[in-house]
Amino acid sequence: MDSVGRVLRLCISLELGVHVRVGFIGLGAQGGPMAQRIIDSGYATTLWARRAASLEPYRDSGATFAASPAELASHSDAICVCVTGDADVTQVFDAMYPSLVPGTIIAVQSTIHPNTCATLAERAASCGAVVIDAPVSGGGRAAAAGELLVMVGGDPEAFARVKPVFDTYADPVIHLGPLGSGQLAKLVNNALLQANMTLANDALQLGLGFGIDEATMARVLGSGSGNSYALGVVAEFGLDRIAELGAALTRKDVDIVSEVAAERGLGTGMLVTVANGSLTLMGYPPHP
């Protein structure tokens, strides 16, 4: 999107939703830039973090700091939760629960099991709050540029209410259907990324066997029809470094997509099999 388009989108967002008070939990490498974009767009934003050091970059940002998730929830109409996994999301939700009121929207932006979202949504409904799932893809650089992908599942009215917030850091923002749809789409995306990493690594190793060094082979493939995002990642970091950066999370995601597909009587073709190839090389084989 060009600069004019970004300005127009921001104006629309401000007109429709700047009065929404936003809470944000999860100021990591991706969540941090997301929160900063929300703050910079003029939203009254409240932050909470487990570690006080995580709040320091926002000391003069205009954001308010909460002493607890419950305090954050009491000052928020919409809450973005961008922590690591199911247990973390549930822990944050448990801490917020006493302060949830009718109309509060909790956007789960972590990648977790759809069943966890369903459980949290049922609990939230008991006090009139709404849970939607809205996992993201793209990384910190995309968040800082306002170019994340947000995949949303859940109530359309709640989505419409919070979409202007998502628009501050994402393009596109896609509503996929009922609660859990966003998680399912993200899990398939992550499995495909991992499968592509397997194939990219195999291609580089085959080139090496043919006497073509990896850097040159990566340049050739990156300039040809075999190019992919995964190729760039594997060529830049290698599987060992990728493993250090978070292969355990992808192992979790591939396991979940396999489980949900099996529960629904769906095959995964070669997707999971190929994804497991690079995960095994990185020391994260399929669970027995």
Residues noted as catalytic: 186
Distance between CA 145 and CA 185 in Å, rounded? 22
The total of other beta-carbon atoms located within 10 Å of residue 8's CB is: 12
Residue 287 is given by DSSP the state P
Would you say 6 and 146 are in contact if contact means Cβ atoms under 8 Å apart? yes
What six digits make up the tokens of 273? 């099999």
Distance between CA 166 and CA 149 in Å, rounded? 9
Would you say 61 and 85 are in contact if contact means Cβ atoms under 8 Å apart? no
Q: Which residues contact 6 (CB under 8 A, 6 or more apart)?
A: 146
**Of 80, 84, 116, residue with least CA distance to 96:** 80
Q: Dihedrals φ, ψ of 260, to 5°?
A: -65, -40
Q: Using CB atoms within 10 A of its CB, is residue 58 exposed (0-12), middle (13-18) or buried (19+)?
A: buried
Judged by DSSP in three states, 151 sits in: strand
**Of 78, 80, 123, residue with least CA distance to 98:** 123
